[in-house]
Amino acid sequence: MSAIQIRNLQKSYRVYQKKEGLAASLAGLFRREYRTVEAVKGIDLDVEGGEFVAFLGPNGAGKTTTLKLLSGVISPTGGEATVLGHVPWRRENDYRRRFALVMGQKNQLWWDLPAQESFKLHQKIYRIDPADFARTRDELCELLDITRLLQQPVRELSLGERMKMELTAALLHSPDVLFLDEPTIGLDVVAQHNIQKFLKHYQEIRGITILLTSHYMKDVAALCKRVVVIARGEIIYDGSLSGIVDAFSGHKVLSVQFAGERMPGDLARYGEVLEEVAPKAKLRVDRTAIAKVLSSVLAEHAVEDVSVEDPPLEEVIAEMFARNQATEVADAAAKPVAAPPAT
């Protein structure tokens, strides 16, 4: 049985449409107009126990809403989901003890108290045996190198240090499933790397199931083999990280180092010139034409080195999101405008 099973999961909201102007605002006091926003349109997903899955999508795609549904914070409009055999929105105590949710933009620790005081509160909430609590706390603090910071008020910690404390608090009760929503948002490169290193090590030794949302593709590349992409509330891709490039990128990057110091003057005929610093050039070439272009370059010019690579993952993801946004705009434009009600 999968650790996470989702079938046709849906979540929609009624949003009040506030109109501009005093007269419209006064009219809205007596007759309000609403529109329905479909945050999650009906997704199906299975995640096996021990998987580390990236859950990607543009802002407003439904990622955080899905995590909130799976953690029981909100209830769905329709569909079904189980996590470790539990229906999340029933909010059973047995389920609460088996998962954890960490949101990079929200704190669960007391701001003015040392983190160790919040940890003690978690011990009481989850009824963790004192010996198990001490052992787990010390293990996590050592792995994250934060033992020296336990007595320091949370407000005095750096953003990276606070996130380490948040992760420690979330893992004190040894959950089987961990939901991570943008855990490295706003962190510098060193802090990101430290969080990535910890999560990878912890997941390997504990074998827990992790569902991660992140806008940092380095998080995804470092941690996840499987990627699920959601856009407009629907899953548009579920597969390997490398498969995203094959499925959504229409070009390759050709890097050439020419012999001598002179550069050919006709590089643009091979593809879009991305970079040109003699004697090296980098070209964007259509994926279907790369073999022909490479053959022409080698036949027509003296070349010392050449390489063909996939575009950066960030670029592919951005291209994918832009394509879906364009589709959304086109669909909205194609919808017929509702006629005004008869008077």
Distance of alpha carbon 80 from alpha carbon 96, whole angstroms: 18
SS3 197: helix
Which tens digit of pLDDT belongs to each residue from 170-205? 999 999 999 999 999 888 899 999 999 999 999 999
User: Is the model more confident about 314 or about 172?
Assistant: 172
| Predicted local confidence at residue 81, as pLDDT | 97
Task: Kindly report, residue by residue over 248-303, the tens digit of the pLDDT.
Answer: 788 889 999 998 777 888 888 999 999 988 889 999 999 889 999 999 999 998 99
CATH 3.40.50.300 residue spans of the chain: 4-245
Q: Taking a C-beta distance cutoff of 8 angstroms, is the pair 211, 47 a contact?
A: yes
pLDDT in tens, 68-83: 999 999 999 999 999 9
Looking at residue 340, what is its pLDDT?
Answer: 47
Q: How many CB atoms lie within 10 A of CB 222?
A: 15
Architecture category of domain 4-245 in CATH: 3-Layer(aba) Sandwich (3.40)
Question: 242 pLDDT exceeds 90?
Answer: no
Using the predicted structure, report yes or no on whether residue 329 has a pLDDT greater than 70: no
- With 60 as the cut, is the pLDDT of residue 339 above it? no
Q: Give the span between the Cα atoms of 4 and 44, in whole angstroms.
A: 10
Sheet (strand 177-181) strand order: 99-103, 177-181, 209-213, 52-56, 226-231, 234-240
Cite the beta strand spans of the chain per DSSP E.
Answer: 4-16, 34-47, 52-56, 78-83, 99-103, 177-181, 209-213, 226-231, 234-240, 251-258, 272-277, 280-286, 303-309
Summarize pLDDT for 91-131 with one digit per residue, the tens. 999 999 999 999 887 888 998 999 999 999 999 999 999 99
Q: Where in the chain is the domain with CATH 3.30.70?
A: 250-309
User: Which of the following CATH numbers is that of domain 250-309: 1.20.81, 3.40.50, 3.30.70, 1.10.10?
Assistant: 3.30.70
The alpha carbon torsion through 112, 113, 114, 116 (nearest 10 deg) reads: -150
Average pLDDT, the chain: 88
240 DSSP β-pair partners: 226
Q: How far apart are the first and last CA of the chain?
A: 57
pLDDT at 226 over 80: yes
Integer Cα distance of 136 and 167 in angstroms? 12
pTM exceeds 0.75, yes or no:
yes
**The pLDDT value given to residue 60:** 82
- Signed CA dihedral, 263, 269, 275, 281: sign only: negative
For 224-248, the DSSP string reads -SEEEEEETTEEEEEEEHHHHHHHH
